[in-house]
Amino acid sequence: MKIKVFVTLKNGVLDPQGKAIHHALEGLGFGGVNDVRAGRLIELDVDENVSDEDVQDMCKKLLANTVIENFEIERN
């Protein structure tokens, strides 16, 4: 089974990478972009018996740093 974990910076945490991407988009002439936040997508291929709680645990213990990041889990 495929699982997608989206890791994003918490609101209020400055995102220098997002700011640089925003700046570059403007440099390319793309208007109307109000803000850019960059994150990370981690794809897991897991056995059927891996529970939601297991994946939550993986996120808290390694995949995300919950001091600065949020995570969302998407199962297909």
Partner 1 sequence: MKAAVIQFPGSNCDRDMKVALEHIMGADTILHWHGDADLPNDLDFIAIPGGFSYGDYLRSGAMAARSPVMKAIITAANQGVPILGVCNGFQILTESGLLPGALMRNASQNFICRDVELRVNNGTMFTKGYTDGETISIPVAHHDGNYFADEATIKTLEDNDHIAFRYAEDVNGSRENIAGITNDAGNVLGMMPHPERAVDSKHGGTDGQRLFQSLIRELV
Binding site for partner 1 (CB under 8 A): 13-14, 16-17, 20, 61-63, 65, 67-68
CB of 64 to partner 1, least distance (A): 9
- Burial (CB count <10 Å: 0-12, 13-18, 19+), residue 69: middle
CB of 9 to partner 1, least distance (A): 8
Of 17 and 51, which has the nearer Cβ to partner 1?
A: 17
CB of 36 to partner 1, least distance (A): 13
Contacts of 21 (CB under 8 A, 6+ apart): 36, 38
